[in-house]
Amino acid sequence: MKVTAKELGTLISNKLIKAGLDKEHANVVADVLVHADTRGYHSHGAMRVEYYAERIAKGGINTSPVIQFEKTGPTTAIFEGDNGAGHYMAKEAMTEAIKMAKENGIAVVGVKNISHSGALSYFVEQAADEGLVGISMCQSDPMVVPFGGKEPYYGTNPIAFAAPSSTDKKIIFDMATTVQAWGKILHARSKEESIPDTWAVDEHGEPTTDPFEVKALLPIAGPKGYGLMMMVDILSGVLLGLAHGNKVTSMYEDLTEHRKLGQIHLVINPEFFTSAKMFKDNITKTMNELNQIQPRAGFDQVSYPGQRSEERAEKSLESGIEIVDDIYEYLVSEAVHYNKYNNKDPFAK
């Protein structure tokens, strides 16, 4: 099923409003989800709406949050989200971080007590759109076996980065510290497709290609990914005085409870380190040089990070966004949700 970005955004927003979310907040959540779907990150797109709607309807997302922003130093601040919609809170916190970085050269803003915030690429792109470098990372619930272990301890704990160029193109990457994000497993399940045997393990700790047999995910590059996910947990959890490690709240265990998640934004103003023009020109030069490298067999070209998702977005905006029929049918239905997620084993079939 193909829909336009505008239609998809309206359907998502209307469903979240029906679940009880404020219109302004619902529109931002919809914008972040459409951002993901246009770029092919379907694991963080419209497929998440029913889960969000159920959590909103059951009180697990605060629909009347009292937001507080406190500067703790010239370049540091805490953004208290009062367990509101994570997408809206993360966007507002990044807006404040951008203001601080423009004035002082750098900003580090901790975002406390929010719900799931979706694709981090959206927030770092905010910074790049303002000519700044953006870095964002957030914690998630334990679904990953640490290197050498058999029991999940950390979450997929993603990291995103963006840098502006002298054109409208940007370098952007958004990666889980696992070989793949859990949402990719869900997407494979929704399409009944197999997965590579390097993504996850079954109940016996053995690699599996069946997304329905997954019981834990694997860190990217073994001990290196393990170290990165620990870093993310420390910066977005421990540093902010929030639950961390295997104490991070479950996405599904109790949808009536607030998740109290943490996220951190780091924004850098190139003007405080070099000429802003020189920085952007050199990013453009880097992008062009990467494209000019001779590709090996099986590749049409070497792409810079974010290039392919940017191309997918352009195509989606022209010809429509492909979403699963079942998801579209839910979005156009009268139902708010179908009680599918509360107390659900995240690995359940």
* Residue-by-residue pLDDT tens, the chain, 349 positions: 899 999 999 999 999 999 999 999 999 999 999 999 999 999 899 999 999 999 999 999 999 999 999 999 999 999 999 999 999 999 999 999 999 999 999 999 999 999 999 999 999 999 999 999 999 999 999 999 999 888 899 999 999 999 999 999 999 999 999 998 777 887 898 889 999 999 999 888 888 999 999 999 999 999 999 999 999 999 999 999 999 999 999 999 999 999 999 999 999 999 999 999 999 999 999 999 999 999 999 999 999 999 999 999 999 999 999 999 999 999 999 999 999 998 877 676 5
pLDDT attached to residue 349: 57
Dist CA 200 CA 255 (whole Å): 26
Q: How far is residue 80 from each of residues 95, 110, 265, measured CA to CA in Å?
A: 14, 8, 13
Strands 133-138 and 159-164, by their bridges, are antiparallel
Number of domains in the chain: 1
Q: What angle do CA 12, 13, 15 make, to 5 degrees?
A: 65
Active site (annotated) includes residue 204: no
Asked if the structure places residue 195 within a domain, the reply is yes
Tell me which residue has tokens 């590059």. Answer: 221
**pTM, two decimal places:** 0.94
243 phi and psi angles, rounded to 5 deg: -60, 150
Contact 145, 216 (CB under 8 A): yes
75 Cβ contact partners less than 8 Å away, ≥ 6 residues apart: 100, 101, 104, 105, 106, 107, 108
- Residues 136, 162: Cα–Cα separation, whole Å: 9
Give a yes or no: residue 318 inside a domain.
Answer: yes
What is the structure's pLDDT at 343?
A: 82
User: Three-class SS of residue 244?
Assistant: coil
Residue 179 domain flag: yes
Specify the pLDDT at position 348.
Answer: 63
Rounded distance, CA 13 to CA 93, Å? 21
Position 345 scores a pLDDT of 73
Asked, for residue 86, whether it belongs to a domain, the answer is yes
In-domain check, residue 144: yes
Question: Contact, 163 vs 200, CB < 8 A?
Answer: no
Check 25, 44, 116, 258 and give the catalytic one: 116
Give the CATH number of the domain where residue 52 resides: 3.30.1370.60
**Taking Cα atoms as reference points, which of 148, 178, 169 lies closest to residue 307?**
169
Domain containing 189 equals: 2-275+310-332
In the chain the first and final C-alpha atoms are separated, in Å, by: 24
Q: Measured between alpha carbons, how far is 108 from 111 in angstroms, rounded to an integer?
A: 10
Q: Considering just the CA atoms, what is the radius of gyration of the chain in Å?
A: 20
pLDDT of residue 151: 85
pLDDT digits over 282-312, tens only? 999 999 999 999 999 999 999 999 999 999 9
Q: Has residue 300 been placed in a domain?
A: no
| Phi-psi label, residue 155: left if phi above 0, alpha if psi -120 to 50, beta otherwise | beta
